[in-house]
């Protein structure tokens, strides 16, 4: 290379390849596929996936994989045995984590016909799992 040679700076071509969303454009997260998070679960706590037997862990992963193939809009149309259902906080017989404040809607999904449930909440397109186990509330 020649010393001191000036290179042309790249210029934006203004193509339609990139779309910059403005503040007034709202994202419809119901059209997105869910993202699952274990961020708020207490690892090795009483209601953690780590306390489940291998067979139950497999059922949990299978359930999450099945749900991840659909959009939130499609999941909302599923019957409660296959999708999510909203459970009022007063029905829970286990202590609820502090992240589940009174204004947060608790959504539960079944991973096992034997009472196995995942409880959490939805934030945009993310489902935050906070409790895993059986008998979280009377069925």
- Per-position pLDDT tens, the chain of length 139: 566 667 766 666 666 666 666 666 789 999 999 999 999 999 999 999 999 999 999 999 999 999 999 999 999 999 999 999 999 999 999 999 999 999 999 999 999 988 999 999 999 999 999 999 999 999 8
What is the residue extent of each domain of the chain?
30-134
Terminal-residue alpha carbon distance, the chain: 75
The reported pLDDT for the residue numbered 19 is 66
DSSP-derived letter for residue 3 is T
Query: Does the model's pTM come out above 0.85?
Result: no
* Measured distance CA(79)–CA(125) in Å, rounded: 20
The gap from C-alpha 119 to its chain's centroid, in whole angstroms, comes to 11
CB 89 within 8 A of CB 106: yes
The reported pLDDT for the residue numbered 1 is 55
The reported pLDDT for the residue numbered 113 is 86
* Measured distance CA(40)–CA(43) in Å, rounded: 9
Strand pairing partners for 118? 109, 132
* Measured distance CA(132)–CA(119) in Å, rounded: 6
């Amino acid at each position: 290379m020649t010393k001191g040679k000036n290179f042309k700076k790249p210029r934006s071509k203004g193509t339609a390849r990139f779309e910059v969303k403005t503040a007034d454009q709202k994202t419809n997260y119901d059209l997105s596929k869910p993202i699952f998070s274990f961020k708020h679960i207490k690892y090795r706590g009483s209601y953690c996936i780590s306390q489940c037997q291998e067979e139950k862990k497999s059922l949990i992963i299978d359930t999450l994989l099945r749900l991840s193939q659909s959009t939130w809009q499609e999941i909302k149309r599923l019957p409660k045995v296959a999708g999510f259902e909203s459970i009022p906080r007063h029905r829970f017989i286990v202590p609820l984590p502090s992240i589940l404040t009174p204004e947060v809607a608790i959504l539960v999904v079944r991973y096992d016909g034997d009472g196995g449930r995942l409880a959490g909440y939805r934030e945009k397109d993310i489902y935050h799992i906070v409790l895993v186990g059986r008998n979280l509330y009377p069925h």
